Structure 1
Amino acid sequence: MIQTSQGMAMDRPDVKKLERYRWVVWTILALMYIFVTFHRMATGVVKAELQEAFGIGAAQFANIGSMYFYAYFIMQIPSGILADKIGPRKTVTWFSLMAAAGSVIFGLAPTLAIAYLGRFMVGIGVSVVFICLIKIQSRWFYSRNFALMIGFVGLSANSGALLAQTPLVYATSLLGWRMTFVALGVMMLFFAGLTKAFVKDDPSEMGLPGMDELEGRPTVKSDLKVLPSLKSVLSNPRTWVVSLVNIGMYVGYIVLLGQFGVPYLMTSYGLERIPAANMIIAAVLGSAVGAMTIGYISDRIKRRKPVLVALSVLSLAGWLLFVYVKMPVSVLPVFLFLHGFAITNFTMTWTIANEVNDRRLAGIATGVVNCIGFAGAAVLPVVMGKILDAYSAAPQLGYEKAFQVLIAVVAVSALVSFFATETKAENVFVSSSN
């Protein structure tokens, strides 16, 4: 049974059709998002192969990863504008073609410069998927389930991160790292076709009632003015608070699961690559559980800030333990599972950003938060890589010094989390014109 904002019961066939087809739309984009996070995390596992293929050190290796994040950073606000203006279906379809081409170019790259280009193209191409998925959720799903649905997005993200660990090791052993990325490009073409064929931007495109009607929301129009909309989000101090929280939490997630987690465990604990990748899988699983649980609990208790603050502090504590306490190898999987759970706290920043901004600007609000977070994800690993190169003769000390930079950023984000807005799971935006 569905309740309208007027409290009238609805059990109509068109509503039931909406509730069925929304999962078709969501699942296609969620599967596409698996490719996004796979590409994001994949370089850490093939670090040795990339360094050998291009004759590079830790800093240049970090730059290969960062090319993706530079592109992602550049595109976050434009992605939000595209999602709000022309819709997710067209945006994801066309940009996925660029990502597919970039993956093939990266796999076939004869030089480091071409590899950079391929990674940059991948970053540009996949940069739109997450924001379009959030936009789809705002148009096809009830607002009371917003945090839970972001948890489902986190599950999709962690599926990609999971595939970028031990399964990637086996794939590269079988096909080589180059053909693995070529194959990924071909697969992305198929999913771009699915997006064009089956994704609908709004239920109204199928003659179905939309969420605006069912929940009494303000009607979302595609003729939103870009500059006033962007100004509305950027001038909102509540947006910047959660953006600053996002930096530390998300950069930590990328460093652990994508850039330096596997190499650090190999250096610090003397693990071979597959056992080290298996350890990181424990963190990926913790992150997957965290993404689901965090959203569910927050929706149930109708509180955002206590969840954000508690997990931000736990994330900081986890990093201190990871870097400064040498644990028994048997304890590592449990610790990494719990640490992965805590660092997935960044998903709550997306929820809060949408609830403190005009609900019609879901794409732009999410894009601004991501823009700030990905700027950190682009820059910090390169800084860490330079530190590792400087301490190449003492790699254990180098990792300790490099992780100190990360810990400082996480500490700032944890502190800022205390200033986040409590929305009580409702949109609290008030226009300055009111």
Structure 2
Amino acid sequence: MPSRRTQLTVWGVGLAIYLLAVFHRSSLAVAGLEASERFGISAAQLSTFVMLQLLVYAAMQVPVGLMVDRWGSRSVLLTGTALIVVSQAGFALADTYALAVLARIGVGVGDAMTFVCVLRMLSSWFAPRRIPLMTQLTGTLGQSGAIVAAVPMTWALGTVGWTGAYLIAAGASLVVGVVAFLVLSDTPEVRRLRGAPISLTAVRISLTASWAQPGTRLGFWIHFTTQFSSTTMSLLWGYPFLVRGEGRTPAEAGLLLSLIIVAVMASGPLMGWFIGNHPWHRSTLAISVVWGLALTWGAVLLWPGSAPLWLLLLLMVVVGIGGPASMIGFDLGRTSNPSERLASATGLINQGGFVASLVLVVAIGIVLDAFTPGTSTAYSPEAFRWAMSTQYVLWGLGLLQLWRWRRSTRAQIRALGGGPGHVPGTA
């Protein structure tokens, strides 16, 4: 086992790449209104930016998992970083809607190549008992990239303008990418790990075997149900909702969105400790978070007029907790699949939250346009109330599937000799 210093160096560089990927993914969160004016687009067209980015991200998860199995996490991670740099620079310089959409698609592809690679590195560089905590720390600290897409990004857009702000962002990833090229290795023993060539038959067998595991499916639905509210608020609709829907100032909206990340960073390590010590209750924790989300959103949306500040603060905290809760899905995938299928299983699970987020981003845009006359972007509080209510359709579907696959997963664990005292694969 490598020294603790070497482990933390590799993890730190991988974390920095993921953090910047989250920043690029979230960089439209406070620039939505500017993008509408820059490109002269409606809410539905604005949603297309994030919709295509999420669609590409979700669609790339399984191919990325297979690429990692074949060419190693280091090579795939560096390729994704390079693509983000080029695409974000293109977004900075785009002067038409079509070019901007193309650039965001590139950001989505590059973003898709980060998290799965970092998780695979964790499984190679750390002892199994430390992986749940390191996974939570990676996801939690990585989400702080969204803070850079809130208050500082708001400042950058107002100070150096659209082009300057996004070029600076691209340059940051370029610098970290060079450091990663010099520092990262796939495993402590091998700098560039290469797997056997993968045939279509082998791909089909691997994916089928991973998806056949009840734990993989439970992980997928946990990721699906817990993540989309946080992702949608952070990526696009949180800022307009708080400003136009709740009557908050831009500064207040930026600070409220930053609180999501504070909640992520505070709750992530606690969840990592909990699932590492109580693996039998992983799904119970996820279901509790879903009910917390549904009840808190209900209080905000049903409040007469604008919700009070204390309730919005509570909403941001609960929404933030949903991010670390989605990481529970990856731990279920890890304990349900052999190491040779870990990347593909992780890719399958990672699709869940982003598929749900994609559906929600589009649904909100459609509902806002339906309640807003003409091509105006002056969305009313009532329009936002109906638009944000579309989350309940996804929560209802997700809770039904969680109940179904939780029963199947627990039955399989018991059949393998596990139970509340011990879950196979968690030693």
Q: Given the two structures, how large is their TM-score scaled by the length of structure 1?
A: 0.87
Q: Contact between 1:308 and 1:417, CA under 8 Å: does it hold in 2?
A: no
Please, which moves more after superposition, 225-234 or 356-365? 225-234
Give the corresponding residue for 1:73. 58
Q: Which runs of 5+ in 1 are unaligned?
A: 1-14, 207-219, 430-434
- The verdict on how the C-alpha distance between 1:426 and 1:362 changes in structure 2, with shifts beyond 3 A counting, is farther
Please, which moves more after superposition, 17-26 or 43-52? 17-26
Matches within 5 A, 1:71-220: 71-205=56-190
2:96 and 2:322 map into 1 onto residues whose CA distance is: 39
1:200-236 CA-partner distances (Å, limit 9, x unpaired): 1011227xxxxxxxxxxxxx98337433222211233
1:375 and 1:180 map into 2 onto residues whose CA distance is: 29
Give the corresponding residue for 1:254. 231
1:58 and 1:277 map into 2 onto residues whose CA distance is: 20
2:80 and 2:278 map into 1 onto residues whose CA distance is: 38
2:194 and 2:27 map into 1 onto residues whose CA distance is: 38
Give the corresponding residue for 2:307. 327
Q: Aligned-pair distance for 1:60?
A: 0.6
Matches within 5 A, 1:302-381: 302-303=279-280, 304-325=282-303, 326-342=306-322, 344-381=324-361
1:29-67 CA-partner distances (Å, limit 9, x unpaired): 100111111122221211111000000111111111222
1:101-125 CA-partner distances (Å, limit 9, x unpaired): 0000111001000000000011111
Matched, 1:273 2:246: no
Q: What is the RMSD of the two structures over their aligned residues, measured on CA atoms?
A: 2.2
1:335 and 1:119 map into 2 onto residues whose CA distance is: 29
Please, which moves more after superposition, 248-257 or 328-337? 328-337
Corresponding residue SS for 2:242 = helix
- The verdict on how the C-alpha distance between 1:356 and 1:60 changes in structure 2, with shifts beyond 3 A counting, is same
1:415 and 1:365 map into 2 onto residues whose CA distance is: 22
- The verdict on how the C-alpha distance between 1:105 and 1:339 changes in structure 2, with shifts beyond 3 A counting, is closer
Matched, 1:244 2:197: no
Q: 1:291 aligns with which of 268, 279, 282?
A: 268
Please, which moves more after superposition, 96-105 or 414-423? 414-423
Q: Contact between 1:95 and 1:125, CA under 8 Å: does it hold in 2?
A: yes
Which one-letter code corresponds to 2:98 in the other structure? A
Give the corresponding residue for 1:432. none
**% identical equivalent positions:** 22
Q: Which runs of 5+ in 2 are unaligned?
A: 374-378, 414-419
- The verdict on how the C-alpha distance between 1:146 and 1:331 changes in structure 2, with shifts beyond 3 A counting, is same
1:110 and 1:228 map into 2 onto residues whose CA distance is: 45
1:255-307 CA-partner distances (Å, limit 9, x unpaired): 22222111111123211112111111112211222222111112123432222
1:151-170 CA-partner distances (Å, limit 9, x unpaired): 11122222111111111101
Which one-letter code corresponds to 1:170 in the other structure? W
Q: Contact between 2:300 and 2:312, CA under 8 Å: does it hold in 1?
A: no
Q: Aligned-pair distance for 1:21?
A: 0.9
Matched, 1:227 2:200: no
Q: 2:17 aligns with which of 12, 32, 36?
A: 32
- The verdict on how the C-alpha distance between 1:177 and 1:427 changes in structure 2, with shifts beyond 3 A counting, is farther
Q: Aligned-pair distance for 1:426?
A: 4.5
1:330-389 CA-partner distances (Å, limit 9, x unpaired): 443244223422453111111112211223322111101112332222232112101101
2:17 and 2:114 map into 1 onto residues whose CA distance is: 7
Which one-letter code corresponds to 1:115 in the other structure? A
Q: Given the two structures, how large is their TM-score scaled by the length of structure 2?
A: 0.88
Matched, 1:384 2:364: yes
- The verdict on how the C-alpha distance between 1:427 and 1:226 changes in structure 2, with shifts beyond 3 A counting, is farther
Please, which moves more after superposition, 334-343 or 350-359? 334-343
Give the corresponding residue for 2:5. 20
